[in-house]
Chain A
Amino acid sequence: MKKRENILETKFPSLSRNESLARSLVSAFIMQSDPTVSELSDIKCAVSEAVTNSIVHGYKEQSGTIYMRIESSSDRIIKIEIRDKGCGIENIETAMQPLYTSDPEGERSGMGFTVMETFCDKVRVVSKKGKGTKVVLIKKLSPKEL
């Protein structure tokens, strides 16, 4: 049976400089599970996308708080939740389409969710207009070599 191994819960202001902070925190946490270089890069990139979405879209670059929770379990599954109390996503299906962006002037590529989906095993998005958005990223790490 799977058992939770470790957990980290944190929150930080929606400042763009905290995109790298979030990546560093996730890296440090995941390193305990001895991931491959590629798995670590995948997770860092997916987290960067989710945190950037909260800053750019959720809070529209205004002040807010981003909540991050990372959990590792004995079956080598990493679960990361990134949550904001921003404006929410009106249509999740549209937002997740490749190349779709609600902000074409801002040089956003519209590839954030595609990157998350490519680099993770599962991406779940829960959002309510005016209430906020929660993104759950699931990544299964390859078995450890004995």
Chain B
Amino acid sequence: MMEFDYSQGSLVVYIRGDIDHHTAKKIREEADMLLVQLAPEKLILDLNDVSFMDSSGLGLVLGRYKKAKAAGIDFLVTNCDRRIIQIFEMAGIERIISIEERITNK
């Protein structure tokens, strides 16, 4: 499930609930549609309300990063908890993608 907020060229996509192979497909389709419709300058994926993520989340984030990069859009993943960061680090994607850890405890 996702919601979004668009202002001054920045598109923030808030992903909620579980990110697995089942949910990733819908999130991917909706996010890609927004990218086409709004043509933002910056795309921010906000993972604050993600309750679970497996490696399908890696595919989702990498896929959006590639799309954004190809279109010259800045890309950022924000509000990740420790476990999500751990999964990103397994694939080493924090070396190519800007990833911000969640600061406050939920």
19 of the cross-chain contacts (CB-CB < 8 Å) are A16-B20, A16-B25, A19-B20, A20-B22, A45-B52, A45-B53, A48-B20, A49-B54, A52-B54, A52-B56, A98-B90, A98-B91, A99-B91, A107-B24, A109-B55, A109-B58, A109-B59, A109-B91, A111-B87
In the assembled complex, B60 has its CB within 8 A of some CB on chain A: yes
Interchain CB contact under 8 A, B21 and A55 = yes
Contacts A16-B22, A52-B54, A55-B21 given; indicate if A115 touches B87 (C-beta within 8 A): yes
Given contacts A20-B18, A56-B21, 19 further A-B contacts (CB under 8 A): A16-B25, A19-B22, A20-B22, A23-B52, A48-B54, A49-B55, A52-B54, A98-B90, A99-B91, A107-B28, A107-B60, A107-B63, A108-B56, A109-B56, A109-B59, A109-B62, A111-B87, A114-B55, A115-B90
Contacts A98-B90, A98-B91, A107-B28 given; indicate if A115 touches B21 (C-beta within 8 A): no
Could you say which of B53, B56, B58, B83 has the most chain A C-beta atoms within 10 Å of its C-beta? B56
Interchain CB contact under 8 A, B21 and A114 = no
Contacts A16-B21, A19-B22, A20-B20 given; indicate if A111 touches B90 (C-beta within 8 A): yes
Nearest-neighbor residue (CB-CB) of A61 within chain B: B21
A23-45 vs B, Cβ < 8 Å mask (1 yes, 0 no): 10000000000000000010011
Could you say which of A20, A41, A99, A109 has the most chain B C-beta atoms within 10 Å of its C-beta? A109
Interchain CB contact under 8 A, B20 and A52 = yes
Interchain CB contact under 8 A, A107 and B59 = yes
Interface bin, chain A: 20 to 34
Which of B25, B54, B63 has a CB less than 8 Å from the CB of A115? B54
Task: Report chain B residues within 8 Å CB of A118.
Answer: 86, 90
A121 to chain B, nearest CB (A): 17
Task: Report chain B residues within 8 Å CB of A17.
Answer: 22
Task: Report chain B residues within 8 Å CB of A48.
Answer: 20, 52, 54
Task: Report chain B residues within 8 Å CB of A52.
Answer: 20-21, 54, 56
Task: Report chain A residues within 8 Å CB of B52.
Answer: 23, 41, 44-45, 48
In the bound complex, CA of A20 to CA of B24 (Å): 13
Nearest-neighbor residue (CB-CB) of B87 within chain A: A115
Nearest-neighbor residue (CB-CB) of B91 within chain A: A111
Q: Which 6 A-B pairs have the closest CB atoms?
A: A109-B58, A16-B22, A107-B59, A111-B55, A48-B54, A109-B59
